[in-house]
């Protein structure tokens, strides 16, 4: 007991958000909840009157929901993947990001596939995908991989929290109803530690191929279709890279916000962000490389249908969006990440990248629909209020989930920080 008290005192700042709830919390949570509830109403409206309440039509039969789907699934890659890779490689600087990253994964994975539910003509029959599974459909692969990833990342987040929940159980008698069952009787015995170590080792290895598979099959929802500029062999790695790219940006954004709001400057140091910034830089370059390779190939050797889409992006109807994307995903973040990996620099870069990657998904999906292969069906697309409501509702729900999470669980892994510190000390001796 004294041990837990000493640790709780030492990590007072990490635990503080769970003990105090001020006006700032309500001022954040209530508007977020209101936006979220509004989107529930919007969904009800769409459910009642049909998908015609969106801006979709013929030939743009998939639109904003699919953009959000790919975007959120992309964000989810941050988490589990990055924290698992950093753990396996024993990169100690990843420790303070771990918990936030894993939580981002879980919440983004809850938000992403929800879009498919919105997108269905008969949302109440979504489970038919499992019931009447048709194995040749990339959507079924999606369903399988995403469900697996979701399950594994929930377990991943949870298992890594067990020792901390054990601590919370002892510290918060009032919330015992929650922490006691979740702590699984954790007392920190030798046997429990060794079981935990094994479980984490296994999960770290398991989560990497699963995460890669998820965005691979998400890319195949497009890449295996006949639409011009979708049908591309590099779509799978391109999407995976883009996903990790936006995911890292999301981790940086989330942790900077947490650091500021909960005063975690002692744990999240500029040194950590410098390293994270370097990782982000690698993915900036990878993304730019893939984008260049993809567009050059289409421009140089593509057919008539592909060129129609390509030019609509480069100089046509989607030129503005396309070049904004290039600016936000590369031109702005690249010099920042090379020269200024400071906190404000990283904040600007991450916000740019997150918005830029959303636009990237938009410019991948919509223009191909506008210019289908046969040059007679032409249409336009403008999202309706229902689609915008759902987009902002999901973003609000995602943020709200994170805010609530930070009120119930420590956003920085206490036991891992402690362990790292002990390891450092023993090395120093």
Partner 1 sequence: MYRWGMVIDLDRCTGCQACVVACRQENNVPFAGEQEAVLGRGKFWMNFISEVKGSYPDVKMRFFPIPCMQCDHPPCTKVCPVEATYKNPEGIVAQVYPRCIGVRMCISNCPYTVRYFNWHAPAWPDDYKRGRNPDVYKRRKGITEKCNFCIQRIRTAKWKAKKENRRIHDGEVIPACAETCPSGAISFGDLNDSKSRVSRLSKSRRAFRLLEDLGTKPKVYYLKEGEWHDG
- What is the C-alpha to C-alpha distance for residues 254 and 259, in angstroms, rounded to an integer? 9
Question: CB of 184: closest distance to partner 1 in angstroms?
Answer: 37
User: Is the bond into 324 cis (omega within 30 degrees of 0)?
Assistant: no
Q: In degrees rounded to 5, what are phi and psi of residue 414? A: -70, -45
Please identify, using beta-carbon distances, which residue of 142 and 170 lies nearer to partner 1.
Answer: 142
Judged by beta carbon, residue 91 or residue 129, the one nearer partner 1 is 129
Per CB under 8 A, 50 contacts partner 1: yes
We find the least distance from the C-beta atom of residue 155 to partner 1, in angstroms, to be 26
Give the separation between CA 257 and CA 96, rounded to whole angstroms. Answer: 14
Which one of the spans 113-121, 151-159, 163-171, 409-417 is the region binding partner 1 (CB under 8 A)? Answer: 113-121
> What is the closest distance, in whole angstroms, from the C-beta atom of residue 324 to partner 1 in the complex?
25
Does 55 sit near partner 1 (CB under 8 A)? Answer: yes
Q: Kindly state whether residue 147 participates in binding partner 1, applying the rule CB under 8 A.
A: no
| Cα distance between residue 214 and residue 211, in whole Å | 5
Residue of 266, 377, 385, 422 that binds partner 1 (CB under 8 A): 377
Contact 341/274 with Cβ under 8 angstroms? yes
Q: Is 60 in the site for partner 1 (CB under 8 A)?
A: yes
For residue 364, the minimal CB distance to partner 1 (Å) is: 13
Distances (CA, A) of 19 to 56, 259, 296, 332: 47, 17, 55, 40
Binding status of residue 221 toward partner 1 by CB under 8 A: yes
Within 371-384, residue ranges assigned H as helices are none
CA distance 335 to 72: 26
213: tokens are: 């598979």
SS3 content of the chain, % helix, strand, coil (to 5): 80, 0, 20
Contact call for residue 133 and partner 1 (CB under 8 A): yes
Does position 134 interact with partner 1 (CB under 8 A)? The reply is yes
Cβ atoms of residues 54 and 123 within 8 Å:
no
From residue 66 to residue 105, the character string flagging contacts with partner 1 as x (rule: CB under 8 A) and all else as - is ----------------------------------------
Smallest gap from Cβ 199 to partner 1, in A, equals 33
Binding site for partner 1 (CB under 8 A): 49-52, 55-62, 119-122, 125-126, 128-129, 131-134, 136-140, 143, 221, 224-227, 369, 372-374, 376-377, 379-380
């Amino acid at each position: 007991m004294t041990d837990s008290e000493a640790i709780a005192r030492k990590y007072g700042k990490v635990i503080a958000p769970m003990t105090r709830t001020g006006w700032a919390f309500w001022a954040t949570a209530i508007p977020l909840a209101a936006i979220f509830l509004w989107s529930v109403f919007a969904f009800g409206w769409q459910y009642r009157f049909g998908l015609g309440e969106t801006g979709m039509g013929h030939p743009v039969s998939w639109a904003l929901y699919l953009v959000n789907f790919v975007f959120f699934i992309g964000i989810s890659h941050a988490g589990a993947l990055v924290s698992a890779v950093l753990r396996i490689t024993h990169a100690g600087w990843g420790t303070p990001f771990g918990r936030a990253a894993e939580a981002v994964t879980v919440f983004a994975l809850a938000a992403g596939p929800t879009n498919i539910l919105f997108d269905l003509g008969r949302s109440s029959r979504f489970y038919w995908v499992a019931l009447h599974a048709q194995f040749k459909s990339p959507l079924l692969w999606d369903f399988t991989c995403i469900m697996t990833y979701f399950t594994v990342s929930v377990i991943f987040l949870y298992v890594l929290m067990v020792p901390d929940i054990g601590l919370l159980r002892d510290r918060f008698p009032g919330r015992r109803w929650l922490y006691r069952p979740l702590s699984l009787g954790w007392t920190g015995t030798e046997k429990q530690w060794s079981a935990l170590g094994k479980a984490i080792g296994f999960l770290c290895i398991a989560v990497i191929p699963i995460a890669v598979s998820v965005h691979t099959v998400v890319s195949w929802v497009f890449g295996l279709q006949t639409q011009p500029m979708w049908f591309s062999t590099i779509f799978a790695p391109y999407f995976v890279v883009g996903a990790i790219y936006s995911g890292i940006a999301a981790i940086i954004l989330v942790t900077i916000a947490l650091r500021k709001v909960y005063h975690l400057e002692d744990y999240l140091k500029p040194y950590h962000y410098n390293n994270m910034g370097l990782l982000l830089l690698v993915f900036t370059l990878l993304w730019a490389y893939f984008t260049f390779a993809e567009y050059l190939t289409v421009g140089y050797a593509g057919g008539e249908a592909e060129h129609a889409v390509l030019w609509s992006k480069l100089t046509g109807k989607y030129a503005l969006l396309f070049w904004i994307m290039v600016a936000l995903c590369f031109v702005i973040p690249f010099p920042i990440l090379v020269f200024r990996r400071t906190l404000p620099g990283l904040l600007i870069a991450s916000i740019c990248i997150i918005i830029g990657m959303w636009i990237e998904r938009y410019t991948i999906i919509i223009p191909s629909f506008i210019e289908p292969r046969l040059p007679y069906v032409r249409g336009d697309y403008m999202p309706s209020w229902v689609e915008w409501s759902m987009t902002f509702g999901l973003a609000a729900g995602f943020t709200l989930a994170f805010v609530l999470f930070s009120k119930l669980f420590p956003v920085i892994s206490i036991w891992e920080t402690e362990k790292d510190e002990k390891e450092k000390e023993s090395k120093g001796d």
